[in-house]
Amino acid sequence: MENLQKIDLPIARSLQRELERQRHTLEMIPSENFVSLAVLEALGSVATNKYAEGYPGKRYYGGCEFIDEIETLAIERAKELFGANYINVQPLSGAPANMAAYFGLLEPGDVILGMDLSHGGHLTHGSPVTFMSKIFDFKRYRTTTDGLIDYTGIHDLAVKFKPKMILMGYSAYSREIDFQKIHEIAQEVEAYTMADIAHIAGLIAAGEMNNPCPLFDIVTTTTHKTLRGPRGGMIMCKDQDVAKRINKAVFPGLQGGPHENNIAAKAVAFKEALQPEFKEYIKQVKKNAKVLEQEIKKTDIRICFGTTDNHLLLLDVTPKGISGKQAEQALDKAGITVNKNMIPDDTRSPMDPSGIRIGTPAITTRGMKEDEMKQIAAWIEQALNNYDNDAELEKIRNDVKELTERFPIYPELKY
């Protein structure tokens, strides 16, 4: 990074400090991961210089022949990963992908069934604070008292409100989804089916969770998180008519020129995800999450939804006498990065909720396995018990640093 250091030393220094933070802390936010150096190289490539409005073979700019090659490779590799018939790799991230799905298939005022945010859903699934909630009429379903998606409740809401779309997906739910059951409900009320698999895309690609692509009309995802690619979005469709409408909604409906450097990085990540090593990685992600669950169940921390079938755990920390914000801050001081998170029917505010969300994708990318999970669970318990004891938290941080040095990331990289 010699040129960066010469041109903008303050940015280079901040990036170096961020690199050191990533190297010496345990990244346990379940939506974060570490991309490969190959993905980083593609992301910082000359493809960033090229405008390419339109789609491969149908561009509004000249000089796109090699960009077409890149985008076509990304599409074909994604098709192989997910078994989808049509794919758009241009969405800039997950939220724009969801917006394109809504605007491509629906009219303002149409009813959408989406998962309640506090029960594990996402902001873009109808949270009142979002712009989309002002355009479409979202009805929210929840989980049952035993921690499962309330499929009976979804059916009752579908019959009552006759939605144009039933949306499945989550950001903090830790269980499997019965896409077949949702497909049947949607057929009964003649609704589109949409799945947002942003958090579980890597698990689905590796065959470790149910795949909605053969059943659902439209499937959106981010390309980072468990898929371990660059920050970006993607939309997959089953039928050609739906795909055409989605393509128009992405461009020219919501976006101009696609970020082709990002699409190149997506293509690299998809190739990596097609390798046998990626399947083994995802299996270890799930094993690690399960060990964390087993260890945390030995404490007084409550695991929401009862268990985990994927890469994450939503934890209620109120038995510790603290809030999710206090837990996040304490763990941050201890060198363990998590995010505060609402729990089902949380009585606290989103900025100071009752829970935290933890996950295993990034620490598994570093090579950590079951033994490390047991130690990490012990540190989490120790940190939360000492949330107001900075000296004790500093001791944990030093132990965390020692562990991370045994599992280095980006040893070649220096800003």
Contact between 269 and 229 under an 8 Å Cβ cutoff? The reply is: yes
> CA–CA separation, 142 vs 125, rounded Å?
12
> CA–CA separation, 405 vs 415, rounded Å?
19
Indicate which residue of 25, 143, 220, 222 is catalytic: 222
Indicate which residue of 23, 51, 332, 381 is catalytic: 51
- Active-site residue, 222 included: yes
> CA–CA separation, 373 vs 377, rounded Å?
6
> Taking the mean position of all CA atoms in its chain, how far away is CA 380?
23
Indicate which residue of 150, 196, 208, 372 is catalytic: 196
- Active-site residue, 231 included: yes
Indicate which residue of 225, 238, 302, 397 is catalytic: 225
Which residue carries 């964390």 as its tokens?
Answer: 292
- Active-site residue, 196 included: yes
Contact between 199 and 171 under an 8 Å Cβ cutoff? The reply is: yes
AA identity, residue 334 = A
- Active-site residue, 152 included: no
40 to 67, 177, 268: CA distances (angstroms): 18, 32, 10
Indicate which residue of 79, 142, 181, 231 is catalytic: 231
> CA–CA separation, 324 vs 87, rounded Å?
38
Q: Among all residues, which ones are annotated catalytic? A: 51, 53, 196, 222, 225, 231
